[in-house]
Amino acid sequence: MTDGPAVMKELRAIQRANGYIPATALHELSDRTGTPLYQIQGVVSFYPHFRLTPAPPVEVLVCDDLSCHRRGAVALLTETQERVAGSAPPGSVVRAASCLGRCDRAPACAVNDVVVSRVTADSLMDAVAAAAAGTPIRADAVVRDPRTLDVDPYGAGERYGAARKLAASGDTNALIASLKASELRGMGGAGFPTGLKWEIVRNTPGDTKYIVCNADESEPGTFKDRFLLENVPHLLVEGMLLAGLVTGARRGIVYVRHEYEAQIEIVEHEIATARAAGLLGTNILGSGRTFELETFVSPGGYICGEESALLEALEGKRAEPRNKPPFPGTHGLHGKPTAINNVETFVMVPSILAHGPEWFKAQGKNGAAKEALSFTSEVRRALRDSRGGCIGHGRNLRKSQLRAHGTAVRGATPSVLRLRRL
């Protein structure tokens, strides 16, 4: 049997080639890989992104989650259904969908799997017409922030300083001590101490270990990981490399939601740059250490963000959460010790090592630390009107304010608040 990522990649390739996954292709894949057909069927039927029947000529998904709902998704859905019924090829489909990962550019839609954002009813119909004519649909462009984020210790200077230092010294104890002293906690939600997680993986015996980045980010209204993937991919690659050098893992995987196609390209470009500079691959910077890094495109589904479900998906299975314990630190991908962290967690590590743990702790108050938050301008306005000012301009944000205003925002112009203080 081929490994999990290979099965998923094959399924994606079959769907790309045919527009869906024909039964004959499933039989062929089963025979070729020695994977029982029922297992492959079970996998394909689990993920909403895989199709077992031919795709409609035009399929429009209108996101009606949080941000898009507030930007008129319901009316857009109704109008588009009417207009498509009158103009697009028979069999075309328009339906509501959950978050498409463009919450800062609502309303967002997908037309034949291409995500388009900040649409109007007219611009959406242009995309529908392109799909019906078989011409390319203009996808979202990534606009990178020209500023250096505070979380980037390198600016225009030489990058990967923390990894170079560790490759030369081999002092993994010092790195773990710094992370523990910084009190960095996982940014994916559960807040587990990162230094302790990496120490557990390092101390668990085994020749094969993994580093996994959770870039599934499917929570409606959330786009902070996407922003980091676009703007500081070098910090993600360096954070994962540091994790590999510390724990002894030789392979890392960046698990990214499939709607982040442009961001996947950005990360892959950074991986290639790092590899060309001798920072990935074998004998990293002459240290004798190996660390390979690759991306994995999620077959979709909110539950894939839960770490054990994500590992199941990586193994080519249905993304059904595992019972815990054991935890991934000791029994992770393929049952091997695995450090799985959120994008932001990895991104934070180089600056902690460059500036020191006390610097990191000084970024927050009362035990809180630096943290990236996704806001729309509605929330920004509400915060500006209140006592604490706007976090985007480097002021402090009180949780009580966020709670008070986060549920009571008014207005209708969501947009990205670039987190200058990140």
Ligand X SMILES: Cc1cc2nc3c(=O)[nH]c(=O)nc-3n(C[C@H](O)[C@H](O)[C@H](O)COP(=O)(O)O)c2cc1C
Q: How far apart are the first and last CA of the chain?
A: 44
The yes or no reply on residue 63 touching ligand FES (CB under 6 A) is yes
Taking the complex as a whole, the smallest distance from the CB of residue 222 to ligand FES amounts, in Å, to 8
Indicate which single residue of 92, 112, 298, 345 sits in contact with ligand X (rule: CB under 6 A). Answer: 345
C-beta of 59 vs 307, nearer to ligand X: 307
The yes or no reply on residue 15 touching ligand FES (CB under 6 A) is no
Indicate which single residue of 108, 212, 242, 340 sits in contact with ligand FES (rule: CB under 6 A). Answer: 108
Rule CB under 6 A: which of 188-217 touch ligand X?
A: 188-190, 192, 214, 216-217
Residue 189 contact among ligand FES, ligand X, none, beta carbon within 5 to 8 Å by kind: ligand X
Structure token digits, residue 302: 């909110």
Structure token digits, residue 299: 């077959």
Indicate which single residue of 56, 153, 186, 357 sits in contact with ligand X (rule: CB under 6 A). Answer: 186
Taking the complex as a whole, the smallest distance from the CB of residue 416 to ligand FES amounts, in Å, to 12
* 301: region left, alpha or beta (phi > 0 left; psi from -120 to 50 alpha): left
Rule CB under 6 A: which of 182-221 touch ligand FES?
A: 220
The yes or no reply on residue 187 touching ligand X (CB under 6 A) is yes
Cα–Cα dist 234/155, whole Å? 11
Taking the complex as a whole, the smallest distance from the CB of residue 20 to ligand FES amounts, in Å, to 25
Residue 66 contact among ligand X, ligand FES, none, beta carbon within 5 to 8 Å by kind: ligand FES
Residue 100 contact among ligand X, ligand FES, none, beta carbon within 5 to 8 Å by kind: ligand FES
Beta strands 114-116 and 109-111, pairing class:
antiparallel
The yes or no reply on residue 218 touching ligand X (CB under 6 A) is yes
Contact string (CB under 6 A) for ligand X, positions 249-288, x = contact: ----------------------------------------
Taking the complex as a whole, the smallest distance from the CB of residue 225 to ligand X amounts, in Å, to 7
Residues in the site for ligand FES, rule: CB under 6 A? 63, 65-68, 99-103, 106, 108, 220
Residues in the site for ligand X, rule: CB under 6 A? 186-190, 192, 214, 216-218, 303, 305-307, 340-342, 345
